[in-house]
């Protein structure tokens, strides 16, 4: 089992972000926060990501992570103040709406063949419609 370090408090995403930020600083010639021997630097080929990882594991990085958590609310929930419509009110409203639509609408009936005649409706006297 790994020895307890500060990195155990970080998620893998937080650790990746910390290492990336520190590696960027080191790549831009930031001073090392830890004394690392020349031999160790040659072993890791002066890799800034490895140096950042060594600094993080040693606990010398002054980086903290703020983890916001949802606020806990206490107290009873209140019901919504909007009044509920009863079924009778809804049905009466629907009936009134249907009556309005029936009064405003045009009565349309199906066309019966007996009602139509061979007479001309277009005025040319040939008995054909629309031609």
Domains belonging to the chain, first-starting first, are 6-58 (3.90.940.10)
Query: Residue 126 has what DSSP assignment?
Result: S
**Average per-residue pLDDT for the chain:** 76
SS3 category, 78: coil
Q: How many residues does the chain have?
A: 131
Higher pLDDT, 110 or 17: 17
Q: Who has greater pLDDT, 28 or 102?
A: 28
**Tens-digit pLDDT profile for residues 66-75:** 777 777 766 6
> Which pLDDT belongs to residue 54?
92
SS (H, E, C) 9-25: HCCHHHHHHHHHHHHHH
**pLDDT reported for residue 3:** 46
pLDDT tens digits, one per residue of 2-47: 444 444 578 899 899 999 999 999 999 999 998 989 998 899 899 9
């Amino acid at each position: 089992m790994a020895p307890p370090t500060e990195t155990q408090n970080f998620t893998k995403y937080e650790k990746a972000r910390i290492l990336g930020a520190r590696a960027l600083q080191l790549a831009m010639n930031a001073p090392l926060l830890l004394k690392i021997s020349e031999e160790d630097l040659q072993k890791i080929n002066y890799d800034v990501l490895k140096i950042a990882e060594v600094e993080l594991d040693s606990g010398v990085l002054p980086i903290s992570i703020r983890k916001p958590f949802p606020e806990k609310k206490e107290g009873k929930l209140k019901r919504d103040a909007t009044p509920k419509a009863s079924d009778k009110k809804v049905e009466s409203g629907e009936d009134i709406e249907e009556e309005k639509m029936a009064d405003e609408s045009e009565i349309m009936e199906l066309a019966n063949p007996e009602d139509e005649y061979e007479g001309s409706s277009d005025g040319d006297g040939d008995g054909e419609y629309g031609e």
